[in-house]
Amino acid sequence: MDKILVIGSVALDTIATPVGAKKEVLGGSATYFSISSSFFTGVNLAATVGEDFPKKHSSLIESFGVNIDGLETKKGKTFRWHGSYVDDLNCAKTIDTQLNVFADFRPNIPKSYLDSKFIFLANIDPDQQLFILNKFKQSQLIGCDSMNYWIQNKRSSLKKLMKKVNFVFLNDAEAKLFSEESNILKAGKYLLSLGPEYAIIKRGEYGAALFAKDSILLLTPAYLLETVCDPTGAGDTFAGGFMGYLSKAGRINDTAVQKALLYGSVMASFTVEDFSVNRFSGLKKKDIEERYKKFRKLIMV
């Protein structure tokens, strides 16, 4: 079982939802992805934080078995994000973003990470994503995420990146923006035309769509919950469960990828039940398997 390397952000989030509010809790794309993946496989994390980053947070990440040798502490303040879901749980309203030490993020890749066969490039500058990939020659599976800002401002670099990845994860708004299509089927086909073997379009409370070879392999709903507490990090948690399962399975084919989509959805359903990564504390593998079986039964005809 090969470890997954995730490169992204570790942050402090201030969040308001209809359920409540939290100030400067643990967040960041690499945080959510790594903890989610850790339930399936070993994880190496590369990110940067400031001198003000609480030791308890790095200890928490490490407690899930995540290797944080690549978590670099730099002089300055940690990346902070302040968002609100009070008006719409499907769409975060950004109140404030302070990049701080993340503004000039150049990941520290320890030598022990260089043999990573599975890599996830979380939402960072696509030029940085391309730079990072040049360090790895033997990778078997590469996934990436992006966002509207990079699609609008680094389209050319993002297209180059698409030729080098196996999986691309975008939400429906991002996929439509990148493809300049209003239909997710056409958007999925466009993404595949750029090079990835699989395209995953995340649709929030409406689930996810998996595309391969100009067809929809699987279209799933989200796992239904009575209460959603905090949607922050759900997409990165989804990607973590997805790629974590594939690493554990040790194979990449349509059947394995379909199962990965379900596991990604299940992991995302856990994270939204509480703020930050709190829901993962005390979560057991048997809890994941029970929800996976229930979810699979619900969507089968």
Give the model's confidence band at 214: pLDDT under 50 very low, under 70 low, under 90 confident, else very high. Answer: low
Domain extents in the chain: 4-299
Beta-strand (E) ranges in the chain? 4-7, 11-17, 20-27, 43-50, 67-74, 80-84, 93-98, 118-121, 141-145, 167-171, 198-202, 208-212, 215-220
Task: Please write the tens of the pLDDT for every residue from 156-189.
Answer: 999 999 999 999 999 999 999 999 999 999 999 9
Task: Please write the tens of the pLDDT for every residue from 62-103.
Answer: 999 999 999 999 999 999 999 999 988 888 899 999 999 999
What pLDDT, on the 0 to 100 scale, is given for residue 301? 62
Give the model's confidence band at 217: pLDDT under 50 very low, under 70 low, under 90 confident, else very high. Answer: confident
Does residue 250 surpass a pLDDT of 90? no
What pLDDT, on the 0 to 100 scale, is given for residue 2? 77
What pLDDT, on the 0 to 100 scale, is given for residue 216? 81
Give the CATH H-level superfamily of domain 4-299: Ribokinase (3.40.1190.20)
